[in-house]
Each structure stands twice: as structure tokens, then as C-alpha cells.
Amino acid sequence: MQDDPTREAIVGAARRILTVEGPAGLTIRKIATAAGHSTMAVYSRFGGKDGLVDELFTEGFTRLTEALEAVIPTDDPLADLDQQGAAYRRFALDHPQHYSLMFDRPVPGDEPGDATVPIANGALDVLARGLARAMEHGALAEADPLATAVAVWGTCHGLVSLEMAGSAPPGIDWAATYEHTCHALLRGLAPS
């Protein structure tokens, strides 16, 4: 696809609004005004709000996948998984509104389109490959890497979501809790 300055302006405006106001701020009129274009420009490029939200959704998962892939593999696959876990948490905390859009489905009536599924699964695939590598090295018990990735992801996601919601007693050291839980989870998956 050739560069489309109007499309880029609309996505940039939507991204800024998402960052400042959260998903509730994503209205076609507000985005179009911020981009300096008509509402028709949004409809002609994205088919409407759902298409634009899909764009932000896939952008978020692309960035998350890139953050996980940025962990350079070492000779210690468990340490690499720890680093990927830290990258996941960092992404969520650095991009809370994008993270919410990706996981909480906060835009009423919006369901990610079919074309977004492979992109959304990219980050999970990175984790599954890392787990498979750890299994091949004997650091983890043999199991279905994808099913194991879903279990690990669920644990990490749950902790990050609780942290972001402030759902814990005062004084919880979230970084230490997250790191400890990731270590304990991986130790629990070690061969017996």
C-alpha cells in the first residue's frame, strides 16, 4: 500500500486521543477534527469506527510482539522467558490505554475483525516459541507449547491487570511480585 498522508494523520490522531483520553475518547468526529480531515475521510479509509479501532488494536499487538521479539536469545531459555515477561509488563505499563483497547474490549459494540486475529496471536506465538525452546533444552517439561503459553500468558496478564487497576492492598511491590510469580511459574513447569 502506498503512503496515504490522510490515513496516517487519522491513525496518529486516534493514537493521541487513545493515549490521552482512553478508548472512550475515540469518536469519529473527534478523531477527524484532530487529524484535520472530515469524518468522511475516516469512513473512506477505515469503513467507520470499527475499522479504525481494528487498526489501533493491530498496532498495539504489533508493538507488543516487537517488544517480546526484541529480547535477544541467550544460552539460558528460562532467563529469556523472564526477560520476555518483563517486556510484557513494561509494554502494558508504558501503554496502558493501548493495552486496555487490546484486552478489555472497552469500545462498545466493537469486536476485532477476522483480519486482526493473526496479528493479535503474534505475541502469543513468540511466547510459545520461547517455551518450546526451553522444553527442547530440558529446562521445562515437555508439553504443548501453545497451551502452556496460554497458561503463562493468563498468569502474567492477570497480574498486570491487577496492578494497572490498583487492585491490591497498599504496599504491594508489583515488580517484585510479578518477577517472583514468573519465576515460580516457570519452576513449576520444570521436569520432575
Residues 109 and 37 in one domain: no
Residues 162 and 92 in one domain: yes
CATH number of 42's domain: 1.10.10.60
CA-based torsion, 35, 38, 39, 40: positive or negative: negative
Residues 81 and 1 in one domain: no
> Angle at Cα 74 formed by Cα 150 and Cα 179, nearest 5°?
50
pTM of the model: 0.89
CATH number of 65's domain: 1.10.357.10
Q: Looking at residue 116, what is its pLDDT?
A: 81
Residues 41 and 80 in one domain: no
Residues 34 and 66 in one domain: no
Residues 33 and 83 in one domain: no
Residues 95 and 173 in one domain: yes
Long-range contacts of range 26-30, CB-CB < 8 Å, 24 or more positions apart? Answer: 26/52, 26/53, 26/56, 26/107, 28/52
Residues 127 and 155 in one domain: yes
Q: Looking at residue 120, what is its pLDDT?
A: 86
CA distance 10 to 62: 18
Residues 82 and 148 in one domain: yes
Which of 47, 62, 83 is the last residue before a domain boundary? 47
Residues 31 and 43 in one domain: yes
- Which residues does 4 contact at the CB level (< 8 Å), separation at least 6? 45
Residues 4 and 77 in one domain: no
Determine the structural domain holding residue 30 and report its residue range: 1-47
**Count of structural domains within the chain:** 2
Please list the pLDDT of the chain residue by residue as tens digits (192 residues).
Answer: 458 899 999 999 999 999 999 888 999 999 999 999 999 999 999 999 889 999 999 999 999 999 999 999 999 999 999 999 999 999 999 999 999 988 887 666 667 777 888 888 999 999 999 999 999 999 999 999 999 999 999 999 999 999 999 887 888 999 999 999 998 999 999 998
Residues 56 and 95 in one domain: yes
Taking only the tens place, the pLDDT of each residue in 8-27 is 999 999 999 999 998 889 99
Q: Alpha-carbon Rg of the chain, whole angstroms? A: 19
CA 55 to chain centre: 14
